[in-house]
Amino acid sequence: MELAAGQSWHEHHSVHPVVVQALKGKIDFRVKGQSVILVPGKPIHVTADLLHSLTALEDSTLMVTMLTGESHPDAKPTVEFDEI
């Protein structure tokens, strides 16, 4: 996703863990009142249900990867352990 400088997302949460990384630009990522500056090459892991917010400090591109794992109702294991 792309954010213009100054654009922000208000505090929210995800029902799944996520990994957020800046592909371009600089993001002020806030969790529990603490600020982490995201820049390319510095991803952050956010656990499920953790409230967080962010503000683009400059024009930025983000990649958000949702880690749904086997808790997702459509998830199927790739290997059955009794076959190993």
Give residue-wise pLDDT tens across range 33-59. Answer: 899 999 999 999 999 999 999 999 999
State the Cα–Cα distance between residues 45 and 52, nearest whole angstrom: 11
Question: Among the CATH numbers 2.30.130.10, 2.60.120.10, 2.102.10.10, 1.10.10.10, which is that of 2-66?
Answer: 2.60.120.10
pLDDT at residue 73 in the model: 63
SS (H, E, C) the chain: CEECCCCEEEEECCCCCEEEEEEECCEEEEECCEEEEECCCCCEEECCCCCEEEEECCCEEEEEEECCHHHCCCCCCCCCHHHC
Task: Record the pTM.
Answer: 0.75
| Mean pLDDT value of segment 19-44 | 94
Bigger pLDDT: 45 or 78?
45
pLDDT at residue 84 in the model: 44
Spell out the domain ranges in the chain.
Answer: 2-66
Hey, what are 32's tokens?
């529990």
